A and B are shown apart, each in its own frame.
Chain A
Amino acid sequence: MTTLNLAKALNEGLRKSLERDQKVLIMGEDVGKLGGVFRVTDGLQKDFGESRVIDTPLAESGIVGTAIGLALRGYRPVCEIQFDGFVFPAFNQIVNQLAKMHLRSLGHVSLPVVIRIPFGGGIGAVEHHSESPEAYFAHTAGLHVVACANPADAFTMIQQAVASPDPVIFFEPKRRYWDRGEVDVSLDLCDAHPLDRAKILTEGADVTLLAYGPMVKTSLEAAAAAQDDGRSVEVIDLRSLSPFDVETVCASVERTGRCVVVHEAPVFAGLGAEVAARVTEMCFYHLEAPVLRVGGFSTPYPPSRLEDHYLPDLDRVLDTVDRTFGY
């Protein structure tokens, strides 16, 4: 075991991927010499060369569009979108092109492209640097959408994403980049938790708390605090948002009878809406209360001096957990 922060764990995972397969490329803005604005690709250009770790012009559609072309030629590009809000110029290339090429070709073409997106708020940034756009992509057939929450998962999940024959939108919780954790860098990927499966982080009997990305840590803290009130909270890190691991989630809710979904994104038509609908449909006779959601408000992301009010924190998560016991 090695202690790494989340950014460094991604860096090590990318390094393994580059070593494993000559066709793996990294491309994006400032990913080369600078090592990325969050240093996730630090040192990779120096070790693998400018041909494999490519500093691109500043145009996100161009990054994804040329990555598609490289994938058509047999490469496995890993694109970095510098910040969540910058992914929208690439929306057509992701949703219309990347997601649909396999179908359009009746399976002749596979596009193993990974798009890494640092997402979420909490770092005091200016507008467009704190978004949680995951629902747009989870709504799009043809894409896998995943989010890592800790260094150990970051290390394995990025390698699994690179190895996937399908396109993967890979969300990274930017305010957790500096969180440290134990990582088994010698772990054989065949022994790693499957990329499309959720993970139960703490077992509990009274309520299931579902989270992903930056909200996993908040949920774990909420579970610890709830313990003091005598409530046993089960925390599940969804990890894969599309496909969504119905099996693990429903098995848990059938045991606890209560479910709360947590994310930073606005709750209206967010990922939690889909989760709530499915859990309700599949666990109806086990539910003691409606599935509740806690997340961002139905507003644009606020200026950073207000973000602490916008983002669900430990108290708002606990408040929602309390409400599920009011039915």
Chain B
Amino acid sequence: MHKCLREPSQRGTERPIGHVAAIPRPGPDKALEWHVTADVDGAAAAASHPAGLDGLARAPQELVQLLTPEGQRVEHPGFPLDVSVDDIRGLYRDLVLVRRIDTEAVALQRQGELGIWASLLGQEAAQIGSGRALAPRDMAFPTYREHGVAWCRGLDPMKLLELFRGVSHGGWDPAEHNFHLYSIVIGSQALHATGYAMGIQRDGETGEDGAATIVYFGDGATSQGDVNESFIWASVFNAPVVFFCQNNQWAISEPLEKQSRIPLYQRARGFGFPGVRVDGNDVLGCLAVTRAALQAAREGQGPTLIEAYTYRMGAHTTSDDPTRYRLAAELEAWKLKDPIERVKAYLVRSALADASFFADIEKQAAELGTQIRTACLSMPDPKPAQIFENVYAEPHPLLDAEREQFTAYLNSFADEEGA
């Protein structure tokens, strides 16, 4: 440990100042209106079903949807969405490419090149929609399945493969893309996001051009103490954080009924902030809802819980066997709501993209797949002494001694070979 004090931390003032949203956001009046609407919905549900939990569970559940499974564009009064044709084509490209990254990674695991992989199959729209709602200065806190959000933040997909190959525990700089490290212990990151949001408040980065945080977690995580504690913290301190829950229906083998007797988005009400359920397979719906929630957070209206209602089409991870606990028919039903097909149907039906557009995207996906495969296969193992690196920020006598001993031990074999 060092002896003298260092200069005061400067990290908080080094954050980027500029703020250019990729896609325009609704103004403050609309965000406010939406918050009121969401609250009224919750209140109405409670009032008309005074019978308690069961009553709430039977309450009509409004699902925000802007693009139907058939690819039809629909409007929602609370969430007007201003997107250009190019934006939608860009979203389609994102969806296809992240699915391709995922497919390639699953294949690499099956061939023994990755130790494990957590597939995002089926959750592309929830991740791309919310990920593209983020402004550069917003901070995202992922679980271990947010490959689509990582893509939106500009993180090199190879960093994700490094983790699942066992080369590092992540190893990227969260500040570089404002994308925090993957979190493995379910729900832990919700508190980090909330604390980070409290830092934003203290830095005074609030207002229309301010920053917000978004934290991702699943339906299973809503049972964790850390997630519930972060709801309390965010509410009490009015922290600029968006809780983005991808309800993919399954926590490994446990269905949602093992986690909750009420729809998850309704939990928010008890904590004192709005909750909204969006079709998690609708990239436009996810974009609109997340955009509004982020803007509300930036403008000092506090947290929002978004429940993106989706489906984990693959296994929990490549080590899991879903045939042991769920029916094939369920998967077949969700395939009809595929997040990519509906965007394609919309683009085709509206004549916004032609065959050459789709062929070009397929070509890009194939190239990306090859690129990932090649890079993965040529990824070197870390050096043995790497074990001792970055445990502490400062030199540590015990680790220095162990490193020295271990290196000498390894070198003793080299000497033998040399002799």
Taking Cβ atoms with an 8 Å cutoff, the residues of A that contact B are 20-23, 25, 51, 56-57, 59, 61-62, 64-76, 89, 92-93, 96-97, 100-110, 112, 141-142, 144, 159-160, 163-166, 189-190, 192, 194-196, 240, 242-244, 246
Chain B residues near A163 (CB-CB < 8 A): 2, 4-6
Q: Which residue of B lies closest to A23 (CB)?
A: B9
Q: Known pairs A21-B9, A59-B232. 5 more at Cβ < 8 A?
A: A51-B202, A62-B191, A73-B199, A144-B1, A164-B1
User: Which among A93, A106, A164 has the greatest number of chain B C-beta atoms within 10 A?
Assistant: A106
Per the bound structure, the CA–CA distance linking A118 and B233 in Å amounts to 24
Partner of B195, one of A73, A112, A196: A73
Contact of B188 with A by CB under 8 A? yes
Count of chain A to chain B residue pairs whose CB atoms are closer than 8 Å in the complex: 192
> For A100, what are the chain B residues with a Cβ–Cβ distance below 8 Å?
169
Q: Which residues of A contact B203 (CB under 8 A)?
A: 73
Q: Which residues of A contact B419 (CB under 8 A)?
A: none
In the assembled complex, the Cα of A71 lies from the Cα of B171 at a distance in Å of 18
Name the distance in Å between B210's Cβ and chain A's nearest Cβ.
13
Query: Across the interface, do A72 and B195 meet the contact criterion of CB distance under 8 Å?
Result: yes
In whole angstroms, how far apart are the Cα atoms of A96 and B181 in the complex?
A: 13
Q: Does B3 contact A (CB under 8 A)?
A: yes
How far, in Å, is B251 (CB) from chain A's closest CB? 18
Complex CA distance for A1 and B195, rounded to whole angstroms: 39
Name A188's closest neighbour in chain B (CB-CB): B4
Is there an interface contact between A141 and B173, defined as CB atoms closer than 8 Å? no
A-B contact pairs, 29 of them (CB 8 A): A23-B11, A23-B12, A61-B225, A62-B233, A65-B191, A66-B230, A68-B195, A69-B196, A69-B197, A69-B199, A72-B192, A73-B196, A73-B199, A74-B10, A74-B14, A76-B9, A92-B188, A97-B185, A97-B188, A102-B390, A105-B170, A108-B175, A144-B1, A144-B392, A164-B2, A165-B393, A190-B3, A190-B5, A246-B397
Complex contact A102–B1 (CB within 8 A):
no
Instruction: Sort chain B's interface into a size bin.
Output: 35 or more
User: For residue A62, which residues in chain B have a CB less than 8 angstroms away from its CB?
Assistant: 191, 226, 229-230, 232-233
Interface status of B394 (Cβ within 8 A of chain A): yes
Check if B168 is an interface residue, CB within 8 A of chain A. yes
Identify the 6 closest CB pairs spanning chains A and B, nearest first: A69-B195, A65-B191, A73-B199, A74-B11, A66-B195, A74-B12
CB proximity of A16 to chain B, nearest CB, Å: 10
Chain B residues within an 8 Å CB radius of A104: 169-171, 181
Determine how close the nearest CB of chain B comes to the CB of A128; give it in whole angstroms.
18
Query: Could you tell me if A107 and B389 are in contact, using CB atoms closer than 8 angstroms?
Result: yes
B359 interface residue (CB < 8 Å to A): no
Q: In the docked arrangement, what's the CA distance between A268 and B200, Å? A: 45
- List the B residue with the shortest CB-CB distance to A103: B390
State how many angstroms separate the Cβ of A27 from the closest Cβ of chain B. Answer: 9
A89 to B174, CA, bound (A): 27
